[in-house]
Amino acid sequence: MTTKQILIHSSLFIVTFFTTTVAGVAWQNLDPFDLYNLSAGLPYSISILFILSCHEFGHYFAARYHGINATLPYYIPAPSLPGFLNFGTFGAVIRTKSPIPSKKVMFDIGVAGPIAGFIATVGILIYGFTHLPGKEYILQIHPDYFSQTQQGVGVGLAFGSSALYKFLEIVLTNPMHDFVPPMSEMYHYPFLCTGWFGLFVTAMNLIPVGQLDGGHLSYAMFGGRHKIVANVSFGFLLLMGIIGFLPAIGISSTYGWTGWIFWALILFFFVKLYHPPVMEETELDANRNMVGWLTFGILVISFAPSPFNVSL
């Protein structure tokens, strides 16, 4: 690796560490421009970069295992912009610099990232649910949270729950003794917020379309039939996006998000729906197929049909 490449990777990591720390401060309703507040953003930035790093290094080490030349992760910072949701990062990516010779190799590289990132995410969520602060924490952010005047004030944001997030909440918390934040407040809690983000990113990457991680798996497992899977997945995203518009015309719906249409269009025009062929088309063995199905199970339990809900 050249000095220039080292500088690029390290610089992007440092900048992303800073932007995620700022985002972590902002999620707690603190002033990110006050340097004394930056330490409050460290649990958020460290945990979100841990999840992203596990995901990308899962890809990286699988590629190196098979002799594929791959770059270290490129971390993508996201600056804070007024009026926009800000997680401090747009994620991270690696690039493979040599051809993928077979379905088996492509499957191994594609599946390693989501599994590694998922394990890291579940670990963060378990820690978050088992180390919930007391009610005084939310009162520092919203002093009148438990008063009647707090209800219905301003613009409300609630994250949408997934099956796994809800399961961990039920199993690991006791509402009789813990203050379990509702989805309209959980983003103030760094480990719950980053754990939720990890599930969200994992699900988006596992959608079986094009050259997403899920697209790699789908092509390796189903061959030419992956086009049917991709078309169905694309149609599902469009449908969920259309359902997200229903409240705008007075029809109540607990599912859907308009952003799914935007994501579907990105997949259609930029990522493309179908996976390009590889040189060697030998079918996967039974063990890899089983791992593939289990990984698509991760998609099901991590997917939030309505990830963001804004109320006025």
CA–CA distances in Å: residue 56 to residues 34, 152, 209, 213, 274: 32, 41, 19, 11, 23
* Cβ-contact 159, 196 below 8 angstroms: yes
Tell me how many degrees the CA angle 44-49-50 measures, rounded to the nearest 5. Answer: 100
> Distance (Å, rounded) from C-alpha 290 to C-alpha 238?
29
* Cβ-contact 244, 257 below 8 angstroms: yes
Residue 205 has which token pair? 């990457």
* C-alpha closest to that of 296 among 208, 175, 173: 208
Helical spans, DSSP H, in the chain: 3-27, 42-65, 103-130, 135-141, 163-172, 190-206, 213-222, 226-243, 259-266, 286-302
Is the pLDDT at 248 greater than 90, yes or no? no
Mean pLDDT of 212-217: 96
Task: Average the pLDDT over each of 79-93, 112-126, 156-170 and give the range with the smallest value.
Answer: 79-93
> Distance (Å, rounded) from C-alpha 250 to C-alpha 128?
37
Q: What is the pLDDT of residue 82?
A: 66
pLDDT digits 0-9 by tens, 266-287: 999 998 999 999 988 889 999 9
- Domain holding 170, by residue range, is 3-311
> Distance (Å, rounded) from C-alpha 246 to C-alpha 241?
9
pLDDT digits 0-9 by tens, 19-59: 999 999 999 988 878 888 899 999 999 999 999 999 999 99
Report the percent of the chain where pLDDT is more than 90: 78
pLDDT digits 0-9 by tens, 168-181: 999 999 988 889 99
Q: What is the pLDDT of residue 81?
A: 72
- Report the number of distinct structural domains present in the chain: 1
pTM above 0.85, yes or no: yes
Q: What is the pLDDT of residue 275?
A: 94
